[in-house]
């Protein structure tokens, strides 16, 4: 733990870093919360809020639609509606601002965790560096779209990152995850369930059992409180990806979304076979890679790999679901001493900053470039996710060896900074 003198040194830089993030985020927030058309205002946050209202009023949860012109349905498990109860305690205009501040705060925290090796090099000025990185991160398209729509992705990614990177209270070393954060994230939005595959693959049975048990418990409680809605979701709504919107549109950057735009007709045997093979191929590559990082004591890289895996294999992965990209960039960058890793991390950030999927859609509509080129640009986030896995393997996993057990008496290797997996 830092001593009071160190905290006094760091405090001014921390405050300055927060101010830098606030200054960067304010124009974006002003645009989407003040000047943006009211009919498009925080449309996804409105879905969460109306889901909670439906539970309170007894309205059928999966029959609700938000007001015109969106008419959006509630697409999450019933448990998610209970977590949205705090959204009812204030006027929606106030909640929109609070939710935006929460997203920025979570981005700040995620940068602090994902970029920790680089931030350590700034010493007591790390708070300012963290603010600068977060200030740039808020303008990445997936993050800015999260603010635009009032999305929940920042919460989902933060829960998983907190869970997997947290340390054991007893030893101060990385314990491989608790399972609780991932459980809550999965109970709200099913895609983090890919972490369960990882824990099974690495034989972390205690963490796996805790996570599945926690998710099952809250789901059963939600079923007990909302039996009709739960039956509707698990037997009908869950099996209808069309409730989420047009799956074949540019916004859906999952492998299935790409296949819907390029491949055989949905529902055909060929479509099912190709989609299944792509999912298997991603899992076959990603799970061993995540296990490799698990053994290396690189929990941020574990989250990066599994986030990209979830993005690729999910039936629907919207552009703003690429919030995982913040973690990926931090994992690739590392401590910033490897120029190749710095270059790749910077390139990845630039590609998430520009609006490549929409550029591709415009190119496709204009017929100014070959169709193949336009399609590659249109499906750029799928390429980004796949190339992120490749970069993590080539630049990070292959270059490292499992670290030796830390010397608890070594002042240059404090236990609180050690992320080596605890030995059983």
Q: Does 128 map to a domain? A: no
Q: Does 178 map to a domain? A: no
Q: Is the peptide bond before 69 cis (omega within 30 degrees of 0)?
A: yes
Torsion of CA 255, 256, 260, 262, to 10 degrees: 30
> For every one of its 424 residues, what pLDDT tens digit does the chain have, with 9 covering 90 and above?
566 767 788 899 999 999 999 999 999 999 999 999 989 999 999 999 999 999 999 999 999 999 888 899 999 999 999 999 999 999 999 999 999 999 999 999 999 999 999 999 999 999 999 999 999 999 999 999 999 999 999 999 999 999 999 876 655 667 678 899 999 999 999 999 999 999 999 999 999 999 999 999 999 999 999 999 999 999 998 888 888 888 999 999 999 999 999 988 888 999 999 999 999 999 999 999 999 999 999 999 999 999 999 999 999 999 999 999 999 999 999 999 999 999 999 999 999 999 999 999 999 988 888 999 999 999 999 999 999 999 999 999 987 765 554 444 443 343 334 444 433 2
Determine the pLDDT at residue 8: 80
Distance CA 406, CA 118 (A): 20
* Structure token digits, residue 86: 């705090």
* Contact status, residue 143 vs residue 107, Cβ threshold 8 Å: yes
Determine the pLDDT at residue 1: 55
Q: Does 312 map to a domain? A: yes
- Which residues in 370-391 are b (16+ Cβ under 10 Å) and which e? eeeebbbbbbbbbebbbbbbeb
Determine the pLDDT at residue 9: 85
Determine the pLDDT at residue 368: 83
Determine the pLDDT at residue 170: 57
* Closest of 284, 334, 274 to residue 304, by C-alpha: 334
Instruction: Quote the domain boundaries for residue 316.
Output: 245-399
Determine the pLDDT at residue 411: 39
* Contact status, residue 304 vs residue 392, Cβ threshold 8 Å: yes
Q: Does 287 map to a domain? A: yes
* Structure token digits, residue 360: 């591709």
Q: Does 154 map to a domain? A: no
* Structure token digits, residue 6: 């160190």
Distance CA 165, CA 114 (A): 9
Residues in the chain: 424
Q: Does 314 map to a domain? A: yes
Distance CA 411, CA 48 (A): 48
Q: Where are the beta strands (DSSP E) in 319-416?
A: none
Distance CA 6, CA 22 (A): 24
* Structure token digits, residue 316: 């629907």
Q: Does 8 map to a domain? A: no
* Contact status, residue 114 vs residue 331, Cβ threshold 8 Å: yes
Q: What's the pTM value of the predicted model, to 2 decimals?
A: 0.91
Determine the pLDDT at residue 414: 37
Q: Does 26 map to a domain? A: no
Helix (H, G, I), strand (E, B) or coil at 365: helix
* Structure token digits, residue 140: 């990445």
Number of domains in the chain: 1
């Amino acid at each position: 733990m830092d001593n009071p003198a160190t905290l006094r040194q760091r405090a001014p830089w921390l405050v300055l870093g927060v101010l830098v993030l606030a200054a960067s985020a304010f124009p974006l927030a002003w645009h989407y919360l003040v000047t943006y058309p009211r009919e498009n205002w925080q449309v996804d946050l409105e879905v969460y809020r109306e889901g909670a209202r439906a539970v309170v009023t007894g309205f059928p949860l999966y029959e609700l639609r938000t007001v015109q012109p969106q008419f959006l349905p509630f697409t999450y498990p019933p448990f998610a509606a209970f977590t949205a109860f705090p959204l009812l305690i204030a006027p929606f205009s106030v909640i929109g601002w609070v939710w935006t501040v929460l997203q920025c705060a979570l981005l700040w925290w995620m940068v602090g965790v994902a970029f920790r090796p680089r931030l350590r090099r700034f010493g007591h000025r790390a708070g300012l560096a963290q603010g600068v990185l977060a200030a740039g991160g808020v303008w990445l398209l997936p993050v800015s779209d999260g603010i635009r729509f009032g999305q929940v992705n920042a919460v989902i990614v933060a829960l998983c990152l907190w869970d997997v990177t947290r340390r054991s209270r007893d030893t101060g070393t990385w314990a491989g995850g608790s399972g609780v954060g991932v459980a809550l994230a999965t109970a709200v939005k099913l895609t983090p369930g890919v972490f369960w595959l990882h824990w099974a693959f690495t034989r972390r049975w205690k963490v796996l059992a805790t996570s599945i048990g926690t998710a099952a418990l809250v789901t059963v409680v939600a079923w007990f409180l909302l039996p009709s809605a739960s039956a509707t979701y698990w037997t009908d709504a869950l099996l209808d990806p069309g409730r989420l919107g047009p799956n074949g549109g540019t916004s859906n950057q999952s492998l299935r979304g790409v296949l819907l735009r390029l491949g055989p007709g949905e529902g055909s045997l060929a479509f099912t076979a190709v989609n299944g093979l792509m999912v298997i191929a991603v899992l076959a590559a990603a799970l061993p890679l995540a296990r490799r990082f698990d053994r290396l004591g690189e929990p941020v890289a574990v989250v990066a790999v599994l986030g990209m895996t979830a993005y690729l294999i999910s039936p629907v992965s919207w552009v703003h679901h690429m919030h995982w990209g913040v973690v990926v960039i931090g994992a690739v960058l590392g401590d910033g001493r490897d120029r190749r890793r710095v270059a790749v991390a910077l390139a990845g950030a630039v590609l998430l900053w520009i609006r490549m999927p929409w550029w591709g859609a415009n190119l496709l509509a204009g017929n100014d470039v070959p169709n193949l080129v336009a399609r590659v640009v249109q499906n750029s986030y799928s390429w980004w996710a796949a190339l992120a896995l490749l970069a993590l393997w080539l630049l990070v996993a292959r270059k490292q060896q499992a670290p030796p057990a830390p010397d608890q008496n070594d002042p240059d290797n404090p236990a609180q900074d050690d992320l080596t997996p605890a030995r059983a």
